[in-house]
Structure 1
Amino acid sequence: MTAESGDPLPAELRQRAEHELLVRTGFVRVRDLSDRFGVSAVTIRHDLQQLEERQLAKRVHGGAMPLAGSRIERTFEEVMTEQAEQKSAIARVAAGLVSSGESILLDVGTSTAALADELVARTDLTELMVFTNGLKIALGLEAAHPRFTIVVTGGTLRPKQHSLVEPLAAPMLDSLRVDTVFLGCNGVDPVAGVTNINLPEAAVKRSMIGAAARCVVVADSSKIGSRALATVCPIDDVDVLITDSGASSTVLDAVRSQGVDVIVADRTTT
């Protein structure tokens, strides 16, 4: 619970929330944390000292930043089980945006892998053309053949995400014009836009956006308000953002104000 509720969190829960915010954003300010959690700056500095002693943060002037290496890209398998319920809810909503006879691009990632599962489960979908740069996603979609035509984009393998990137990833994408791209990412911010943790996949994502009439970003709440290394696109290049109820309402309102259709998925939806 934050300052808005008038009921400050216990120290352990507050420090956990501070660390989660630090990991998402890459930097936290003492003043901002004090306002957010309704405690004094002295208390926040003590919190940050505790996080530093536990090797979860590095204190700097005015705040803290992650320790070197704490924002290192993790593998597909390491991330797959995180926010699993939220990703499933997001995927169900996203699958509802797809109709028979359409052509779509599925970006690499665990949220789009969940979407692939939901598409396969929709037995009413036929004549769907799916392009993907994710090998795991392509294999998951195979269960829907021949209802779906699955095309792997080509390129050079990145084992960490089982993705295909440059060189040789762009030629097919440059020749396509699909109905919708479903894009994964590591950050969605109203100022920084859509961002990703690694450069090669960010470049492919940009090509995917250029190949689609509509851009749908699927991002669980841990990504909302976060910024990662590589810019994928400004926020006004996104047509639809699908996230979950854990996302900051302030950030979502700022995204909506730039013309993005924001859909908050309900985990109870079936």
Structure 2
Amino acid sequence: MVTAHSTSTVAELGGSPKRSRRMAGILDTIAERGEISLAELTDLFDSSAATLRRDLTVLADQGLIIRTHGGAKAAGSLAELPVALRDTRFQDAKRRIARAAAAHIPRERHAIALSGGTTTAGVARELVNHADLTIVTNSLSIASLAAPYPRLRVVMTGGILRPQSLELVGVLAEGTFNAVNVGTAILGADGFSAEAGVTTHDETEARTNHAMVTKAQRTIVVADGSKIGGAALAQMAETTSVTILITDDSADEGELDKLRAAGVTVVVV
């Protein structure tokens, strides 16, 4: 259920780029250590105690951490960052991946499906000047990005809004993907390994994206190197369903070899 509190908190997380990067760093540090003191955070991030208290309050309100006396600790899994914070991570790699993915889209009339995520949004940015492209998406971010360009035809699914990813999911979204045929599905991921396939943290999102992949002639996975070899909760697509993986040179080479052996064409940028 989407509440005013949850959506406003996500908006607050997306403050200045500097603050977003700092808050993403705080989450990474807490995920690694389990618990950390305010004094340690001030040393690590070269920020005042008052600034860091405000950051911790926002993260705690979002349910991402638990405040403790003098610091903070992990609140369950910190694996899924809100989209406002994810946009600050691995930016250079994601731009290279997006450009490479766009180069695989035919310049003549073509229909693509795009899942939500910062890397897939980057692909959409690279395609805004395409002469005859239909974009089918369940991502509010991508639909808003593409809307100002009259040559792009945007088909938006229905569904229930996930505030963490700004994606529409569930049976209404699945119904839209099941009703159309696309040439290329471009899928972001929280993890991709030869054994586990393409995975994400939310099972409802996984079912929606599985419907997207099922109706596509080919599937391109776009994922920075931190996702390669990892496995999140729910599978979106089997490895054998993926035609191309586009990733960066930080990806584990051993896992890339396993994906190649499974029949995936691997592009490293």
**TM > 0.5 between the two?**
yes
Percent sequence identity is 38
The answer on 1:246 being equivalent to 2:253 is no
Give the whole-Å Cα distance in 2 for the aligned partners of 1:185 and 1:169.
18
Asked whether the 8 Å contact 1:130–1:150 carries over to 2, the reply is yes
Give the whole-Å Cα distance in 2 for the aligned partners of 1:191 and 1:167.
27
Corresponding position of 2:209: 205
Corresponding position of 2:147: 142
- Give 1:72 deviation, angstroms: 4.4
The answer on 1:117 being equivalent to 2:121 is no
Give the whole-Å Cα distance in 1 for the aligned partners of 2:79 and 2:133.
36
Q: State the SS of the aligned residue for 2:199.
A: strand
Give the AA of the match of 1:126. Answer: A
Asked whether the 8 Å contact 2:98–2:119 carries over to 1, the reply is yes
Give the whole-Å Cα distance in 1 for the aligned partners of 2:217 and 2:181.
7
Give the whole-Å Cα distance in 1 for the aligned partners of 2:90 and 2:191.
15
Asked whether the 8 Å contact 2:94–2:224 carries over to 1, the reply is yes
User: Which stretch of the first structure deviates more once superposed, 70-79 or 253-262?
Assistant: 70-79
TM-aligned CA distance change 1:259 to 1:135, over 3 Å: same
Task: List aligned pairs for 1:5-20, cutoff 5 A.
Answer: none
TM-score by length of 2: 0.72
- Give 1:261 deviation, angstroms: 0.4
Give the whole-Å Cα distance in 1 for the aligned partners of 2:35 and 2:263.
43
Give the AA of the match of 2:111. Answer: S
State which of 95, 99, 121 in structure 1 corresponds to 2:102: 95
Corresponding position of 2:158: 154
Point out 4+ residue stretches in structure 1 off by more than 4 angstroms.
51-55
Q: State the SS of the aligned residue for 1:246.
A: coil
Asked whether the 8 Å contact 2:157–2:172 carries over to 1, the reply is no
Give the whole-Å Cα distance in 2 for the aligned partners of 1:243 and 1:188.
11
The answer on 1:194 being equivalent to 2:198 is yes
Q: State the SS of the aligned residue for 1:169.
A: helix
Asked whether the 8 Å contact 1:73–1:198 carries over to 2, the reply is no
Q: State the SS of the aligned residue for 1:143.
A: coil
Corresponding position of 2:86: 79
Give the whole-Å Cα distance in 2 for the aligned partners of 1:72 and 1:127.
37
Give the whole-Å Cα distance in 2 for the aligned partners of 1:174 and 1:201.
15
TM-score by length of 1: 0.71
Give the AA of the match of 1:90. Answer: I
- Give 1:154 deviation, angstroms: 1.4
Corresponding position of 2:54: none
Q: List per-residue Cα deviations over 1:104-158 (Å, max 9, x = no partner).
A: 00111111011111111xx3x211111010011011012322x110110111211
Give the whole-Å Cα distance in 2 for the aligned partners of 1:148 and 1:118.
12
Asked whether the 8 Å contact 2:247–2:267 carries over to 1, the reply is yes
